[in-house]
Amino acid sequence: MDDQTHQEKDTRILIVDDEASIRLTFEMFLAREGYGPITTAATFSEAIEVINSNTFDLIISDIVLEGERGTDLLRKIREAGIECPVVMVTGFPNLDSAAEAVRHGAFDYISKPVNKETLLRFVRQALSHWQLEQEKKNLLQENEKFKRYLEAIFSSVRDAIITIDNDMNIVQLNDTAKRWLLFSDSADDINLRTSNRLDSYKNEMGKACLQDAKQVLANKIEVREHQVECRKPDGNIRIISLNAAPLEDGQDEFNGVVIVARDITLPEPETGPHTRNKFHGYVGSSQVMQQVYNLIENVGKVDTAVLITGESGTGKELAAEALHAESTRRDMPLVKVDCAAMPEELLESELFGHIKGAFTGAEKNREGRLLQAHNGTLFLDEIGDVSPRMQLRLLRFLQEKTFTPVGQDNPIEVDVRIIAATNVNFTEKVKDGSFREDLYYRLKVVEIKLPPLRDRKGGIPILVHHFLSMFREKLKRNIHGISDQAMDALTKYSWPGNVRELRHVIERACVLCEGPTISLEHFAEEIQRQPLHPQQTPPTSLPQEGRAALPPYISERDEIIDILKRARGNKSKAARMLNIDRSTLYRKMQRIGIAKDIAKAPAPKNTP
Ligand SMILES: Nc1ncnc2c1ncn2[C@@H]1O[C@H](COP(=O)(O)OP(=O)(O)OP(=O)(O)O)[C@@H](O)[C@H]1O
């Protein structure tokens, strides 16, 4: 340390000695070197008094003070919380007590007689030591403050943050991360169950973190936007997007991985507080899907016939599976028959069975599907297409609970629950006489109507993420997300093939996608075209009036703001232009965060 440093002003030194000559000499030596202000005290009590009312950078004290001991003074100094260095001055007979003073925290001791050079050398050393101590203390305080600041950020962000060392030990994780790793919304059990090994967390979040951490540790490069479905204990799923990056210190030392995860689940419109976004094989949380789930749950338990209606690909087979799973018959067989897939005679023996020799080619007895479904459920898909003769046979079975295999005389009694599905308009068929009205009512004791996907477009993002996760796993692709434009196109497309078509589109995109993000180019032309040619969008979307002047890739938010402006803030008119009802418009505005007064902004100049 440079001497000059301590010879500058404001080096406050206290000299305690009962010999006036020593006090004076020391003061003179030090003052000449530029130290100061210098205070002197002749007695123990005088020293205590000045120590209590001043601060010092250095105290030089005789070890013997007219009956009192310098070591007592040292004790008093430390008790008062004063940390500056204390140098003891001692004569030969007191060397032991001086050494003891050092053990109790004195910086050092100087043996008498003390010449100028020795004194100055000790003073320099003590002060530079003191300065180093002060710097260390300030640094520690700064570090402590910074740590607390980081901890505050760490615990107040809604994202989950986890840091992991090179051996997969969790170094730090915030409360959100704990909750997601433990699937618990209760903070109470967090501390009880947390482990510091990342691989001990076996839920989707834990597995995804582990996978990303391994990848970062192996390649030392970032993993971005890894999206996973995480199931909460209540059955709801959240879409979590993970970013994992190498944890490096300033010197390019690799210290592990930092993972930041964010819940990117998009709220579906019309969801309430007790909504489910997953039910058996279904994904979706719109109001209409809630009704479907509730109906399946309630009807599942009763043994009535159920008719499931809906366009192709809306999930009718899923409904049949869910109904069976909800029923008391769940451990018995669910037998499925696609009535449209075979001609009448084949269907008859498929359903009712036949005995050997019943017709040409019937070489042995065949057990029908009805018999196979005994005590279980028979799912008759595409029931709208069956012939009048088969309709009559089915009606008899529903009335009598018995059937007769082809070529047999004796009826067989079975206990089978019938679930039928159709994608044709039954009322038309009944009206034109191609389907028996009596059978229709027998089948339709309860009807479950599945909405086309174009009528519940809010459900598209969650389905997209669901299928993305599914095919990422299945095809072993490293796809992490989907671009906004691609998602926009998917939500604008009319989906004539409903969820099945969406599933195929995502599967195809995953096959074609070589990078981490699905984008427009991975879709067929008719889907890509959507945002650029809004007139291609389904009839339930914007009518021409609202669309004509909208730019390409317009978002739902821009679309609504634009229409609200055109309607000069009149929500009923805007809702009409958007082809939705007023309450849906309000909900959308609330969800997307459009302030009510935005609508009052002046209409664009080019609007009529
Ligand atoms: N809400 C949904 N969530 C997740 N997957 C769904 C949903 N609806 C349908 N699917 C999936 O879409 C595909 C088609 O569903 P399903 O076979 O049940 O439709 P369907 O109405 O019976 O069709 P079709 O009338 O053509 O037989 C299946 O892979 C099914 O798992």
pLDDT digits (tens, 9 = 90+) for 44-54: 999 999 998 99
Provide mean pLDDT across the span 467-473: 90
Provide mean pLDDT across the span 480-498: 90
Is residue 498 over pLDDT 90?
A: yes
Atom of ligand 1 nearest to the CA of 283: 3
Buried b (16+ CB within 10 A) or exposed e, 61-82: bbbbbeebbbbebbebbeeeee
Question: What confidence score (pLDDT) does residue 266 get?
Answer: 64
Q: What tokens does 394 get?
A: 């089915």
More confident residue, 205 or 531: 205
More confident residue, 607 or 244: 244
Q: Which of 320-334, 497-511, 539-553 has the lowest mean pLDDT?
A: 539-553
Question: What confidence score (pLDDT) does residue 551 get?
Answer: 31
Question: Does residue 384's CB lie within 6 angstroms of at least one atom of ligand 1?
Answer: no
Provide mean pLDDT across the span 184-196: 54
pLDDT digits (tens, 9 = 90+) for 228-276: 888 776 667 788 889 999 988 777 788 899 999 998 876 555 445 567 8
Atom of ligand 1 nearest to the CA of 315: 18
Question: What confidence score (pLDDT) does residue 438 get?
Answer: 94
Question: What confidence score (pLDDT) does residue 543 get?
Answer: 29
Q: In the chain, what percentage of residues exceed pLDDT 90?
A: 46
Question: Does residue 449's CB lie within 6 angstroms of at least one atom of ligand 1?
Answer: no
Is residue 190 over pLDDT 60?
A: no
Atom of ligand 1 nearest to the CA of 314: 21
Question: What confidence score (pLDDT) does residue 494 get?
Answer: 92
Rounded Cα distance between 472 and 509, Å, is: 11
**Residue 292 CA to ligand 1 centre (angstroms):** 14
Question: What confidence score (pLDDT) does residue 42 get?
Answer: 93
Provide mean pLDDT across the span 566-578: 74
Whether 463 and 313 have beta carbons less than 8 Å apart is answered as no
**Residue 501 CA to ligand 1 centre (angstroms):** 9
**Residue 318 CA to ligand 1 centre (angstroms):** 6
pLDDT digits (tens, 9 = 90+) for 348-378: 989 999 888 777 777 788 889 999 999 999 9
Is residue 186 over pLDDT 70?
A: no
Question: Does residue 310's CB lie within 6 angstroms of at least one atom of ligand 1?
Answer: yes
Q: What tokens does 197 get?
A: 């090994």
Question: Does residue 282's CB lie within 6 angstroms of at least one atom of ligand 1?
Answer: yes
Question: What confidence score (pLDDT) does residue 261 get?
Answer: 93
Question: What confidence score (pLDDT) does residue 547 get?
Answer: 30
Widest CA span in the chain: 137
Residue 10 — very low, low, confident or very high, per pLDDT cuts 50/70/90? confident
Is residue 542 over pLDDT 70?
A: no
Is residue 509 over pLDDT 50?
A: yes
Question: Does residue 318's CB lie within 6 angstroms of at least one atom of ligand 1?
Answer: yes
Provide mean pLDDT across the span 441-461: 92
Listed ranges 207-211, 273-277, 480-484, 575-579; the one with the highest mean pLDDT: 207-211
CA distances from 186 to 190, 191, 234, 433 (A): 7, 11, 13, 60
More confident residue, 277 or 388: 388
pLDDT digits (tens, 9 = 90+) for 392-419: 999 999 999 999 988 888 889 999 999 9
Domains of the chain, earliest start first:
8-136 (3.40.50.2300), 157-263 (3.30.450.20), 278-451 (3.40.50.300), 457-600 (1.10.8.60)
Is residue 591 over pLDDT 70?
A: no
Is residue 12 over pLDDT 50?
A: yes
Nearest to 558 by CA among 518, 516, 604: 604
Provide mean pLDDT across the span 484-511: 92
Rounded Cα distance between 164 and 80, Å, is: 44
Q: Which of 89-103, 168-182, 250-264, 425-439 has the lowest mean pLDDT?
A: 89-103
Asked if the peptide bond before residue 461 counts as cis, ω within 30 degrees of 0, the response is no
The rounded mean pLDDT for the chain is: 83
Cβ contacts of 220 within 8 Å, gap of 6 or more: 246, 254
Ligand 1, atom 5, residue with closest C-alpha = 282
Atom of ligand 1 nearest to the CA of 310: 21
Question: Does residue 379's CB lie within 6 angstroms of at least one atom of ligand 1?
Answer: no
Question: Does residue 481's CB lie within 6 angstroms of at least one atom of ligand 1?
Answer: no
Q: Which of 282, 306, 308, 314 to mutate to test the pocket of ligand 1 (most atoms within 8 A of CB)?
A: 314
Is residue 545 over pLDDT 60?
A: no
Cβ-based burial of 180 (10 A; exposed 0-12, middle 13-18, buried ≥19): buried
Whether 574 and 585 have beta carbons less than 8 Å apart is answered as yes
Question: What confidence score (pLDDT) does residue 3 get?
Answer: 46
pLDDT digits (tens, 9 = 90+) for 72-130: 889 889 888 888 999 999 887 777 778 888 888 899 999 988 999 999 999 999 999 99
